[in-house]
Structure 1
Amino acid sequence: MTKVDLKKALDGYRAKRGEFRIVEMPEMRYLMVDGQGDPNTSPAYTAALQTLYPVAYTLKVASVRELGWDYVVPPLEGLWWADDVTAFTSARDKSRWHWTMMLMVPDWVPPELVDAAVTKVAAKKDAPARLHDLRLEALTEGLCVQTLHVGSFDDEAPVLAEMHDQFIPNEGLELTGTHHEVYFSDFRRVAPEKLRTLLRQPVRPVGGEDHS
């Protein structure tokens, strides 16, 4: 049985350091959990990850057994925003951040298999505390600009500034949708200066309609 690695198979998960790339993202489905606050200190953030991963791995096993499809559990992803955008892009006031943490669900997996995985995880004695907050949802971002950031999460601001204030307007585009990150590195095991994070920003032509 071939094991599919979605982050290598999907074009939208390719990015290079120092290069801004315009991509068209199709509709994708994710397991999602929402929250607010500093991801370094918020119990809600930790609980979100402790909810997403057991369901994702249970779903992977079910895909192999019931559908004959094996795959690498995709990387963690996050949507990030703040009521005042400077709290995210420049001031980096993490206590004011809102987030949705996500794990991609392959397109061959039917919703009922996701429901069965959630039910199975819920039946365990140590069931995740935020399982009732988990949902399966489609995300359609459409036109996006993305790049690869290598380094600490706290060093993203200059890259985002260049993306938002120079590259995007110079291409006749404007921001729409929500800042999106894909974590290619496990931040629990990789030194901050070596972290690899895809930074994605949905955009539209200046004056165009927002389809996100």
Structure 2
Amino acid sequence: MHMIDIPNELSGYYSAKTQPEIVEIGEHTYLSILGSGSPGTNIFYQKKKAILEFIIQLQDQFKGTQKSFKNDIVEIFYWFDDKEGFVDIGNFYTTVDLDLLHYRIVVLIPDFVTEDDIKTTAAKSNDISFATEFKRFTYTAGKSVQLMHLGPLAGELETLPILQDFATENSLVKSGMHHEIHLIHFERGQSQQHLKTILRDPVKSIQ
């Protein structure tokens, strides 16, 4: 029985160079859960753990069928409310109080997975935290700038300005949510020295 191996079949989506580049990201569908506040809080990691538990249960619904799929790569979209003003790529984490940050933790899923499929999983997953909060989310980033960040997440404070400079040099400006793809899973308190994280931001041409 064929299984849809999402990371393998969408290898371009899950790859980036260590130097900035421009990419085009089409529409994708995700299992998602919303949150707010600084990343790294207890509830942030609880939701991150819960989505991995939930995706296993969701995948089990399709196990043994032509729609069988697998994916366990966690991604996160971050943004601030418009009232906080424009927050650029290079200083995304240093401009506004992170308590005001919003995030959406996601795992990419096939388009055929419906909201009803997710609700069915939630109804059978009383032992999974936040089970009723998981939703289907569809998003198109379009033209984006990206690069691969290696090592601890704190180092993004040095990496994001590189991405910013690249965007500026190409007459591009941030136009959507900051996006991080955590290719290597980690829990709170674990070493981050080995991490590989794609930093991706949608952009538009400066008018």
Shorter-normalised TM range: 0.7 to 0.9
Partners in 1 of 2:115 and 2:132 — Cα distance?
Answer: 16
> 1-side partners of 2:153 and 2:96: how far apart?
10
Give the Cα–Cα distance (whole angstroms) in 1 for the partners of residues 72 and 145 of structure 2: 21
Provide closer, same or farther for how the CA distance between residues 46 and 158 of structure 1 changes in structure 2, counting only shifts above 3 A. closer
Q: Secondary structure at the match of 2:124?
A: helix
Deviation at 1:93, TM superposition (A): 5.4
TM-score (norm 1): 0.82
Alignment CA distance shift 1:109-1:96 (3 Å): closer
The answer as to 2:28 corresponding to 1:24 is: no
Shift of 1:108: 3.6
Moved over 6 A (4+): none
Residues 53-68 of structure 1: pairs in structure 2 closer than 5 A: 53-65=52-64, 67-68=65-66
Structure 2 equivalent of residue 15 of structure 1: 16
How many percent of aligned residue pairs carry the same amino acid? 25
Unaligned stretches of 5+ in structure 2? Answer: none
Q: In structure 2, what is the Cα distance between the partners aligned to 1:181 and 1:159?
A: 13
Map 1:85-96 onto structure 2 (within 5 A).
Answer: 85=87, 88-90=92-94, 94-96=98-100
8 A Cα contact 1:6 1:74, kept in partner = no
| Structure that is richer in helix per residue | 1
Q: 1:52 aligns to what? A: 51
**Does residue 142 of the first structure (1) align with residue 142 of the second (2)?**
yes
Counterparts of 2:117 and 2:179 in 1: how far apart (Å)?
A: 26
Q: Which moved more, 1:170-179 or 1:49-58?
A: 49-58
TM-score (norm 2): 0.84
Count matched residues. 199
1:117 aligns with 2:121: yes
Greater RCO (Cα-Cα under 8 Å, separation 6 or more): 2
1:97: which partner in 2? 101
The runs of 5 or more residues in structure 1 that have no matched partner are 208-212
